[in-house]
Amino acid sequence: MRTVILLAMGFLLGAAPVFAGSIYKCNTKEGVVFSQTPCAPDAIKLKSGKSKNPGRSTNGQEKPIAGTIDIRLFDKVGAGTAEEIVALVGHPAAKYFHNGDDHWLYPNAVKVDGDKRLCPELYLRDGRQYQISWIPEDIMRKSVSVAKGLSDWQEPGSIRKKTFTVGDTVIMGKSKSQVVGKLGQPDAKKVFNGREIWEYKEVQFAANNPQTLTIYLTFEGDIVASSAGN
């Protein structure tokens, strides 16, 4: 079967060329016809022009998405100071303080690992980075939203003496204001798996049992979703 390219000036044999406008493919008695106008009732409209992958530059390298941070820069962070980290990768989208550590969240730096997209959470202690955790991108974005709500909160300098017991902390479905009204402010707040967690440390089992636990209240938005002890 012949392949025919139909042009305004006549017929040429060969492969389909690249036109500025639309191209139509038709099956005719003469063979397969490519035309700039519909050449048969069942003509198939083809895309014209050579497409370029918008995610790559002309030299074949991946183009960074607008607003993103080059993931390779995080390999150079090492034990850098806060100032050095900011100079290298910029300020985090959100950060919070928990148990002596500053947590810096970067949702605009994405590392692809197989079918996973991961973003870095930096841990700083005494002003220096000492650990990076890689968080799934969807969880990271939730974590950023939660962490922004913790930015103005400061941990108390010492663990508060509790006037309640473990049984009093089973308060699923209560709001944050209701929790504070019953248990007071927590000893620590953190972000885990995209959720806000409050910690109440050294909570006594019962009035006649001096053993203590740390109680973790996990919130879904403003409401306590679960309570656990360790």
Can you give the pLDDT at residue 2? 43
**Averaged pLDDT score across all residues of the chain:** 80
Domain span at residue 7 reads 3-46
In a domain, 7, yes or no: yes
Can you give the pLDDT at residue 136? 96
Q: Which residues pair with 134 in a beta bridge?
A: 120
Q: Does 224 share its domain with 174?
A: yes
> What percentage of the chain carries pLDDT values higher than 90?
61
In a domain, 87, yes or no: yes
pLDDT at residue 132 is higher than 90: yes
How many domains in the chain? Answer: 3
pLDDT category at 34 given cuts 50, 70, 90 is low
DSSP code string of the chain: --EEEEETTEEEESS----SS-EEEEEETTEEEEESS--STT-EEE--S----TTB-TTSPBPPPTT---GGGGGG-TT-BHHHHHHHH---SEEEEETTEEEEE-TT--EEETTEEEEEEEEEETTEEEEEEEEEHHHHHHHHHHHHHHTT----SSPPPPSSBGGGG--TT-BHHHHHHHH-S-SEEEEETTEEEEEEEEEEEETTEEEEEEEEEEEETTEEEEEEE-
In a domain, 130, yes or no: yes
Can you give the pLDDT at residue 58? 39
Can you give the pLDDT at residue 125? 95
In a domain, 27, yes or no: yes
In a domain, 52, yes or no: no
Distance CA 101, CA 67 (A): 27
Q: Does 225 share its domain with 193?
A: yes
Domain end among 150, 174, 198: 150
In a domain, 206, yes or no: yes
CATH number assigned to the domain comprising residue 210: 3.30.1450.10
Q: Does 138 share its domain with 172?
A: no
Contact 216, 178 (CB under 8 A): no
In a domain, 107, yes or no: yes
Return the closest-CA partner of residue 191 out of 141, 119, 129: 141
| Phi, psi at 220, each rounded to 5° | -110, 100
Q: Does 15 share its domain with 82?
A: no
pLDDT category at 9 given cuts 50, 70, 90 is very low
Neighbours of 127 (CB within 10 A): 10
pLDDT at residue 37 is higher than 70: no
Neighbours of 35 (CB within 10 A): 20
Across 155-184, b (16+ Cβ under 10 Å) vs e yields beeeeeebeebbeebeeeebebeebeeebe
Q: Does 85 share its domain with 146?
A: yes
In a domain, 62, yes or no: no
pLDDT in tens, 184-228: 999 999 999 999 999 999 999 999 999 999 999 999 999 999 999
Can you give the pLDDT at residue 46? 56
Can you give the pLDDT at residue 60? 41
Distance CA 164, CA 184 (A): 10
Q: Does 96 share its domain with 145?
A: yes
Q: Does 127 share its domain with 174?
A: no
Rounded average pLDDT over 159-177: 94
Distance CA 15, CA 22 (A): 16
Instruction: Enter the pTM of the model.
Output: 0.67
